[in-house]
């Protein structure tokens, strides 16, 4: 197999080998349906309960507040649509202009059937300021949804400050923490959020599994109708292997978070220092960013061209969010932060993870120099 330098960890991550090992028995031998009452199903049922408890502990929630989903997209859809559909008064949702499409398109879907939505502007560094929310919110607001950290530019938001304003107006607060969980400390009680979305494949767990934290007492409609799984809130036979894999990956990432983020930060600093040393001129987007999430804009260049030329050198980077990968339009996030077009068009996202090395950073910077400053 060709050896790639994988620097697109915000798109997805390599599966933790311990998570993989832990999944095998549930795929091969212990295939019982966890909802069945016979003894063969006792082990998968117990494994799911243990995984729920582990995940809850990692974010300081109670196990009954964790609902398994198929990933970040489903969790976001559930939070936005489930809270709207439980509200016959058609109160408003407030979200931000820089959310992932899983949130934005869910909001648009509710708007089409009569639920009003307002979209908060961001500042030039991608921050949603509490004072901006304060201007938009009213006692007719049902839900505020602002992401914990942005997937294109990495900006981390003041979630506790925003949730505080939402609650002062009697609104619920949801955060899409898909890029943050497993990478920065997340404590749902300290953040005071009512719902939080997460996705395993962003923290070295398997793809196709995630969870939605729903604080006890919060009113949201079930998202999937069918059987009685997930306390009658999300129907469908449980994916035991994926749930177990997700819990192991999250536990490992949480236990090693400090060391991992320190080493990713030092790779990030090395990359920036090398680019400057090589004489490359660029603009870095975002502020107070996630470790290793680096959005770089090269004036009068072309992000698509950079992505493909890096690909030819065996290096995986992205132009913006993973879901924008095939479009050469300027992403909604770069537009929202008012990045001038001549920079926005030449933007790439390099997202480092725990498997990247110093020698890979040298290859990345050397390759960018060869592409942008040919001799
Ligand atoms: N939210 C954010 C911030 C993301 O970055 C992503 C994926 O890129 C999603 C939601 C969707 O997650 P999933 O791929 O698990 O559906």
Is the pLDDT confidence value at 364 over 80? yes
Q: What are the residue ranges of helices labelled H in 196-331?
A: 229-232, 240-255, 257-277, 303-312
Does residue 30 contact residue 44 with C-beta atoms inside 8 Å? yes
pLDDT score of 124: 97
Query: Under CATH, to which class is 257-372 assigned?
Result: alpha beta
pLDDT score of 268: 98
Whole-angstrom CA distances from 347 to 47, 123, 260 are: 44, 18, 26
pLDDT score of 328: 57
Give span(s): CATH 3.40.640.10, the chain. 17-255
Ligand 1 centre to CA of 145 (Å) is 15
295-316 average pLDDT score: 97
Could you tell me which of 55, 85, 9 has the C-alpha nearest to residue 211?
55
Q: How far apart are CA 61 and CA 46, in angstroms?
A: 19
Is the pLDDT confidence value at 320 over 90? no
Q: Is the CB of 210 under 6 A from ligand 1?
A: yes
Going by CA atoms, what residue is nearest to atom 13 of ligand 1? Answer: 72
Could you identify the atom of ligand 1 that is nearest to the CA of residue 201? 15
Cα-to-chain-centroid distance, residue 178: 2
Q: 214: left (phi > 0), else alpha (psi -120 to 50), else beta?
A: beta
Q: How far apart are CA 184 and CA 172, in angstroms?
A: 23
10-36 average pLDDT score: 97
Ligand 1 pocket test, pick from 73, 159, 325 with the greatest ligand atom count within 8 Å of Cβ, gives 73
**Residues above pLDDT 70, as percent of the chain:** 98
45-60 average pLDDT score: 98
Q: Element (H or E) spanning 111, and its range? A: helix 101-112
Cα-to-chain-centroid distance, residue 320: 14
pLDDT score of 310: 98
* pTM for the structure as a whole: 0.97
Is the pLDDT confidence value at 322 over 70? no
Q: Is the CB of 176 under 6 A from ligand 1?
A: yes
Is the pLDDT confidence value at 283 over 80? yes
196-212 average pLDDT score: 98
Could you tell me which of 7, 19, 3, 2 has the C-alpha nearest to residue 207?
19
At residue 375 the predicted structure's pLDDT band, cuts being 50, 70 and 90, is confident
Does residue 241 contact residue 26 with C-beta atoms inside 8 Å? yes
Query: Under CATH, to which class is 17-255 assigned?
Result: alpha beta
Ligand 1 centre to CA of 182 (Å) is 14
- Supply the mean pLDDT for the chain: 96
At residue 323 the predicted structure's pLDDT band, cuts being 50, 70 and 90, is very low
How does pLDDT run across 159-173, given as a tens digit for each residue?
999 999 999 999 999
The set of catalytic residues is: 323
Give span(s): CATH 3.90.1150.10, the chain. 257-372
């Amino acid at each position: 197999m060709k050896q790639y330098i994988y620097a697109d960890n915000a798109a997805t991550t390599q599966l933790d080998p311990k998570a993989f090992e832990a999944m095998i028995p549930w795929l091969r031998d212990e295939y019982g349906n966890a909802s069945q009452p016979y003894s063969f199903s006792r082990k998968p049922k117990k494994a799911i309960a243990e995984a729920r408890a582990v995940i809850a502990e990692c974010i300081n929630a109670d196990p009954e507040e964790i609902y398994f989903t198929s990933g970040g997209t489903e969790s976001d859809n559930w939070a936005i649509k489930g809270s709207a559909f439980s509200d016959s008064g058609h109160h408003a949702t407030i979200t931000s202009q820089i959310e992932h499409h899983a949130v934005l398109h869910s909001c648009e879907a509710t708007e089409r059937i009569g639920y009003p939505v307002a979209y908060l502007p961001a500042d030039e560094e991608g921050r949603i300021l509490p004072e901006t929310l304060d201007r938009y919110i009213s006692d007719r607001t049902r839900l505020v949804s602002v992401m914990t950290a942005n997937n294109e530019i990495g900006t981390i938001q003041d979630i506790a400050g925003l949730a505080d304003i939402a609650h002062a107006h009697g609104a619920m607060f949801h955060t899409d923490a898909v890029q943050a969980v497993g990478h920065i400390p997340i404590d749902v009680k300290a953040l005071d959020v009512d719902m939080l979305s997460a996705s395993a494949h962003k923290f070295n767990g398997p793809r196709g599994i995630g969870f939605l934290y729903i604080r006890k007492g919060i009113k949201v409609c079930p998202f999937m109708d069918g059987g009685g799984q997930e306390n009658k809130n999300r129907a469908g036979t449980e994916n035991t292997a994926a749930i177990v894999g997700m819990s192991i990956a999250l536990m490992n990432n949480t236990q090693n978070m400090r060391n991992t983020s320190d080493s990713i930060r030092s790779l990030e600093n090395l990359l920036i220092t090398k680019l400057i040393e090589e004489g490359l001129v660029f603009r870095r987007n975002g502020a107070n960013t996630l470790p290793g999430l680096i959005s770089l804009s090269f004036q009068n260049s072309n992000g698509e061209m950079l992505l493909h030329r890096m690909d030819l050198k065996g290096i995986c980077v992205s132009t913006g969010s993973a879901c924008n990968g095939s479009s050469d339009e300027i992403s909604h996030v770069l537009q929202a932060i008012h990045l001038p077009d001549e920079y926005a068009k030449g933007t790439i996202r390099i997202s480092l993870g725990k498997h990247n090395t110093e020698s890979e950073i040298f290859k990345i910077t050397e390759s960018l120099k060869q592409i942008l400053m040919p001799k």
